[in-house]
Structure 1
């Protein structure tokens, strides 16, 4: 005895369902991959530092300079890296972007001279290398850009001193490179220096 089974559209429906699942899976994989790609910053601090203008070149080329004191471990520096890369791309032909790693002892004289006590620390220098402003900690891209525009134009920087979130940083013992203060030096706080 043979059972008479009705024709079932099930095999075709299963194929169609499987095809739709496969298409949705491919679309989701592509969307996910593109999402990861846009969230991953290509601006790493070491790569940016390697591509930055060397300090000695910046001090000789008659262009204004934005000097950033940073460290690879500095989370504030890392968060700002994509914005700094964008600013360099836009203004790099008119402004030197110099990056000095505070963990490198060779920059100790600059750390002392620019009084770096938190990072990121930004120093703005005119084309004649005269410091005109500084900013400490994370800065909004808009603030940095407005200052860069003014720096390029030789104008007073609109936000000459700014303080944002910093990464903890204690400058190394700089007594070897710091000159002794004199009684009329404001850092002496009235003390007499014996030499």
Structure 2
């Protein structure tokens, strides 16, 4: 009887240790993934637009929203692209839900997100793409931007989330926060 009790205790201790180790691994794995690819984390790490326009480097400006499923889907690839091109290109992120960026939203005619604006070294907008873009297209455009040549995919359009200026207080939840403003 004591052998069975001892065996059960050892088994229970091993199971408990395995559960703790797996829980810790899962927790830290999710923390690392979330911190490096979340839209909020990337926005906090992005370069302020004023700095980007003044430092003489080309810039990729992304208009996004936290509720935008296309923006969320692209976040891990954008994080990888930022690591690869961060020394050569400014990465600016502007949240369309922040009224502070209304002048930029109007200037670049943002009506769907994600909306990417490619700015040359002088801060002039030379191309825009709207919607979910494959990593290869963004990289091709960035390589051309760095080389100061014509962007190969200057006006591509992928899957977007609609964005309309106006209050989202009474918006339909299926509209991802967008609301049609009637005049």
TM-score, length basis structure 2: 0.74
The two structures, once aligned, show a CA RMSD in angstroms of 2.8
User: Which whole-Å CA distance do the structure 2 matches of 1:20 and 1:109 have between them?
Assistant: 60
CA drift at 1:106: 2.8
Structure 2 alignment gaps of length 5 or more: 168-183
Question: How much does 1:138 deviate?
Answer: 1.3
Tell me the CA shift for residue 14 of structure 1. Answer: 4.9
Q: 1:154 to 1:29 in 2, by over 3 A?
A: same
- For the pair 1:93 / 2:106, whether they are aligned, the reply is no
Q: Which residue of 2 aligns with 1:123?
A: 117
Partners of 1:116 and 1:171 within 8 A in 2? no
Match of 2:172 in 1: none
Structure 1 residue 111 displacement after superposition: 1.3
Question: Structure 1 residue 165 and structure 2 residue 159: aligned?
Answer: yes
Aligned partner of 1:71 in structure 2 is: 65
How far apart are the structure 2 equivalents of 1:133 and 1:116? Answer: 13
Distance 1:85 1:45 in 2: 9
Q: Sort the Cα spacing of 1:29 and 1:162 in 2 relative to 1 into closer, same or farther, 3 A.
A: same
> 1:72: how far off?
2.2
Aligned to 2:130: 136
> What CA distance in whole angstroms lies between the structure 2 residues aligned with 1:24 and 1:54?
45
Q: CA deviation at 1:24?
A: 5.4
Matched residue, 1:111: 105
Which of the two has higher C-alpha Rg?
1
Which protein has the bigger helix share? 2
> 2:127·2:151 contact (CA, 8 Å) conserved in 1?
yes
Match of 1:54 in 2: 48
Structure 1 residue 126 displacement after superposition: 1.1
Q: What corresponds to 1:146 in structure 2?
A: 140
Q: Point out the more displaced range, 99-108 or 122-131.
A: 99-108
Task: Report the 3-state secondary structure (helix = DSSP H, G, I; strand = E; otherwise coil) of the residue aligned with 1:72.
Answer: coil
Alignment check: 8 A CA contact 1:70 1:119 kept = yes
Mind listing any 5+ residue stretches in structure 1 that lack a counterpart? 1-6, 174-195
Q: 2 CA distance for matches of 1:144 and 1:78?
A: 16
